[in-house]
Amino acid sequence: MTFTATRTVRFADCDPAGIVFYPQYLVMLNDLVEQWFEDGLGLRYEQIIGDRRLGLPTVRLEADFTAVSRHGDRLTLALSLVHLGRSSLQTAARFSGEDGQLRMKTRSVLVCTSLATHRPVALPEDLRAAMLPFLEKETP
């Protein structure tokens, strides 16, 4: 299953050339992960961090920027789970324009950590159970 959301490119996302400044795509990606927790997994991201004291830092990120996005463009953001390990997960994201043109695609690895020790910890069972429906079939 893929989680999807839409987002309008804002003025603050753009550089003086009027296109999305590439680090802003990464901010959008982080926002998408938080929205996936809330709307897709039914878990409050701020409670995972604040109450449960678990972090999910990105430890690996690959990004391909394939076309420009401009102020006012409506993007479809799609996130899927490629791998689910004991304490880590790998996501794939695709950002596309209304015309279906791919603007950016990413692969990310996030690791569940204790905010007390900053060491990896096992993903809690409720989090793992909520993520499983989004896990794509892995290919060798």
Backbone angles phi, psi at 8, to 5 degrees: -95, 135
- By residue count, the chain amounts to 140
Mean pLDDT value across the chain: 96
State pLDDT tens for residues 105-122: 999 999 999 999 999 999
Cβ–Cβ < 8 Å for 29, 106 = yes
Residue 132, pLDDT score:
96
Percentage above 90 pLDDT, the chain: 97
Domains of the chain: 3-134 (3.10.129.10)
Residue 87, pLDDT score:
98
State pLDDT tens for residues 6-33: 999 999 999 999 999 999 999 999 999 9
DSSP assigned state of 13 = G
State pLDDT tens for residues 42-63: 999 999 999 999 999 999 999 9
Residue 137, pLDDT score:
78
Looking at the predicted structure, is the pLDDT value of residue 93 above 50? yes
The pTM (predicted TM-score) of the whole model is: 0.92
Residue 138, pLDDT score:
59
For tokens 């678990």, what's the residue? 54
- Bridge pairing between strands 102-111 and 58-65: antiparallel
Residues contacting 48, CB < 8 A, separation 6+: 37, 54, 56, 127
DSSP assigned state of 123 = P
Residue 140, pLDDT score:
46
